[in-house]
Structure 1
Amino acid sequence: MTQPDTRTGAEPGPSAQAAQPEPHAQSPAAERNRGPQTLRSMLSFSERVDLLIRVVLAVAVSIGCYFIIEPFLTAIVIAAILAVVTWPLFASARSSAGGSTTLPALLMVFLLIIGVLIPSSFLLIALAQQIPKGISVIREWIASGFTIPPAISEIPGIGPWLHDQLLFAIDPASLSTTMQKLLEPLSAALLNAAVNVSNILLQLALVTFIVFFFYRDGAWFADRVQALMKRVSGDLSNELTKILVNTTRSVVFGLVGTALGQAVVAGIGFWIAGVPGILMLCTLVFVLSIVPIGPPLVWGPSAIWLYSQGETGMAVFLVLWGLLAVSSVDNFLKPILIARGSSLPLALIFLGVFGGVIAFGFLGLILGPILLAVGLSMLQAWLKNPILAAKLDPDRPRRSRRPIKREKRESTQAKGNSLDNPSDQENTSE
């Protein structure tokens, strides 16, 4: 409220009111000299202590939650991957059930038990019984001395030459020593896996238990993940969520397709070589193909068995078939299948699969490509920032034809929008 003039008794006019300076106004130079306010200047001492206590408690609770979940982390990740991959099938079952989630979730878990848990249990029990026998046979074969089979020299055309080249390139004594050194850690790992069959079966049962809740409460989990992605990545949350889902499904489908292809190719080799129990061996190849050295654990002992039965030629054929045909399926088909549904180039698929296995173990087969896909998408979005693009290449609009085409396309869209919205034209004309 303005005060009247003491000399005239009248209130000051508008010009006089505007001329009066505000009591707390400061010049821009003074504002710049003050500098930005820090958190310490904005909060009192007691508020800073309260904030520090809250941060320490949040970190402590997070660490405690991690230690509680850590024993089940592998099962949780596998269950989440199964839920993401099979979610379209669950959505169809949910639609057929009238929107109910409990009954379709139970149906999906039942299918997983019938199709995955029970067959895996029988295979693991069979492997636990056969692994010690196979290791003892391999050790006896290595201890007897590695020799080049005479059947190699009997191959028409190139047999004698191939036999001489192998004699020149391979020292049987040193090769036997090397194979014995390589067999020790491998046999220890296989025996440990055979002993821990009960633990593996328990993990599979835990996966089926957890995946039920992912099915039933999938919408709730999806909302929380979407909120977390939006909090972390902002406008990129929808794009990154799509990348996570598509890459996960592509990697799983690539692994399953590669396993099926390796099982079929290995089965052809077993049939040609005359190895008994082809169906069981093909099933083992299918299951073990998710491990980088899985298929050789099947066709390798089969070749040794053929050699011990006097079928040297077929043993050599099976080894060559496994190295050239079965391994080629894994090296070429897997990256192609994974790249079809993801946004990663083929080279990054190779790096993601093999680097993920080295860094994270079994889960790295899926986590490696997913992390690379998310990182690449974030990098591309960052590079598409117009301010950053102008700093990196200020002359790009004059040299590149793509911005010109984009401008033409935008102008065409603007015309179309103006035609769709006549009110905009009227406002413009006014």
Structure 2
Amino acid sequence: MKNTLNVTASHRVLILALLFAAFACYLLIEPYINSIVMAFILSLLMFPIHEWIEAKLPKYKNIVAFLSCLVLTFIIVIPLLLVFSAIVQQGSVFSQNMYQWVTGGGIQEMFAHPWVVKGLSIVNTYLPFDTIDPQGIAQKAAEFATSLGSNLVAISAKVLGDATNFLMDFFLMLFVLFFLLRDHDKLISALRHILPFSRSQEDRLLSEIEKVSKSAVMGSFLTAIAQGIAGGLGMWLAGFPGLFWGTMMGFASFIPVVGTALIWIPATAYLFITGDTSWGIFLAVWSIAVVGSIDNILRPLLMQGSAGMNTLMIFFSLLGGIHLFGLIGLIYGPLIFALTMVLFTMYEEEFKDFLNSQDNS
């Protein structure tokens, strides 16, 4: 016999008060919610390592949690510092080369190229845009190149500010992660006790949260890393700074629909215009066949099996997640979709008799 819950007036008041208090608590932690969510997801990814360390030191929970956080710091921070320093170096060289190219008349040469002249003629004749003036664009580019030094200072200041915010968020995330790892069993037990579901429903819900969180991280970030590596290799072979543009392609892969094409299409056009036709063909083929196939094959493969979500649902969960939450929406979107599907399945099972009678009526 199923347990029944008799809700009295005092129960309703208690539930309303609890909801109000929970909402007030949410407002308090809302500025830090991304760090908390990332700590939760990283705790799922780090838990196998944490369990291995815990098996070696079973009586020292605080030390084990600290060592797990330390391992994560080495895994994330040190590679990021090495990559960031290389990006700054290659970016500085690229900026200097760009300045010399613009001030040396390279942009005028580009607009004098027969392909560019013909393309601009077609655009100005048939498309309903304002007339594109090559001289005006060249003048703007020259002005930008002249002020490149001050622009770099402003960009560097912004990057430094973003890096400071990243470090603050990262250490906050580590702080939360420490307690999530240390008190994992207590937190799961408390959550199971509070949720008004059967044990099988709780297992399914918690299992799906873990599965989707892992697949969202793996699907989005591993795909970005793979595309960045493949794209950087192609750019390096074509004569561009590989690490810098590979990193840019990795970030661009997070942009829905456009993705890495935002980087490799202008690079390919530049190679064709400057006469490196063979390398231009190579970069285009490499980017479509190798870099593009990574996104089309690896991301769905890593994210498959998330509550029965098909490729179309995964696509819209990623697109909508980015639109609502920004970059962190790559995790939130699939998580919301998958949990909705699990809850819908639970609803279908709970009201199976009623739904069947509705179908037969």
**TM norm structure 1:** 0.61
Unmatched segments (≥5 aa) in structure 2: 1-6, 141-151
Moved more, 122-131 or 79-88: 122-131
Matches within 5 A, 1:228-307: 228=194, 230-231=195-196, 236-276=201-241, 278-279=242-243, 281-282=245-246, 285-286=249-250, 289-290=253-254, 292=256, 295=260, 299=264
Matches within 5 A, 1:275-354: 275-276=240-241, 278-279=242-243, 281-282=245-246, 285-286=249-250, 289-290=253-254, 292=256, 295=260, 299=264, 311=276, 314-315=279-280, 317-318=282-283, 321-322=286-287, 325-340=290-305, 342-354=307-319
Distance 1:295 1:221, change over 3 A: farther
User: 3-state DSSP class of the match of 2:360?
Assistant: coil
Q: Percent identity?
A: 23
Match of 1:82 in 2: 42
Moved more, 98-107 or 137-146: 137-146
Moved more, 131-140 or 342-351: 131-140
Partners of 1:106 and 1:210 in 2: how far apart?
Answer: 11
Partners of 2:112 and 2:190 in 1: how far apart?
Answer: 61
Matches within 5 A, 1:31-430: 58=18, 61-98=21-58, 100-124=60-84, 130=91, 137=98, 147=111, 168=122, 174=132, 195-228=161-194, 230-231=195-196, 236-276=201-241, 278-279=242-243, 281-282=245-246, 285-286=249-250, 289-290=253-254, 292=256, 295=260, 299=264, 311=276, 314-315=279-280, 317-318=282-283, 321-322=286-287, 325-340=290-305, 342-384=307-349, 385-394=351-360
Q: Which has the larger radius of gyration?
A: 1
Alignment RMSD:
4.7
Partners of 2:306 and 2:52 in 1: how far apart?
Answer: 21
Partners of 1:342 and 1:91 in 2: how far apart?
Answer: 27
Displacement of 1:374: 1.4
Equivalent AA in structure 2 for residue 77 of structure 1: V
**Contact 2:209–2:335 (Cα < 8 Å) also in 1:** yes
**Contact 1:303–1:318 (Cα < 8 Å) also in 2:** yes
**Contact 2:233–2:246 (Cα < 8 Å) also in 1:** no
Question: Greater relative contact order (Cα 8 A, min sep 6): structure 1 or 2?
Answer: 2
Displacement of 1:62: 3.3
Per-residue CA deviations over 1:396-426 (Å, capped at 9, x if unaligned) read: xxxxxxxxxxxxxxxxxxxxxxxxxxxxxxx
**Contact 1:85–1:252 (Cα < 8 Å) also in 2:** no
Unmatched segments (≥5 aa) in structure 1: 1-38, 154-162, 181-186, 396-430
**Contact 2:36–2:173 (Cα < 8 Å) also in 1:** yes
Partners of 1:91 and 1:207 in 2: how far apart?
Answer: 20
Distance 1:89 1:328, change over 3 A: same
Partners of 1:101 and 1:297 in 2: how far apart?
Answer: 47
Distance 1:341 1:57, change over 3 A: closer
User: 3-state DSSP class of the match of 1:393?
Assistant: helix
Per-residue CA deviations over 1:339-363 (Å, capped at 9, x if unaligned) read: 1465322221112112211122112
Distance 1:313 1:71, change over 3 A: same
User: 3-state DSSP class of the match of 1:231?
Assistant: coil
When the two structures are aligned, how many residues end up with a matched partner?
Answer: 331
Distance 1:369 1:205, change over 3 A: same
Equivalent AA in structure 2 for residue 343 of structure 1: G
**Contact 2:110–2:274 (Cα < 8 Å) also in 1:** no
Per-residue CA deviations over 1:376-398 (Å, capped at 9, x if unaligned) read: 12222323333134224339xxx
Displacement of 1:245: 0.8
Displacement of 1:125: 6.2
Match of 2:147 in 1: none
Distance 1:299 1:224, change over 3 A: farther
Partners of 1:88 and 1:255 in 2: how far apart?
Answer: 21
Distance 1:102 1:195, change over 3 A: closer
**Contact 1:132–1:191 (Cα < 8 Å) also in 2:** no
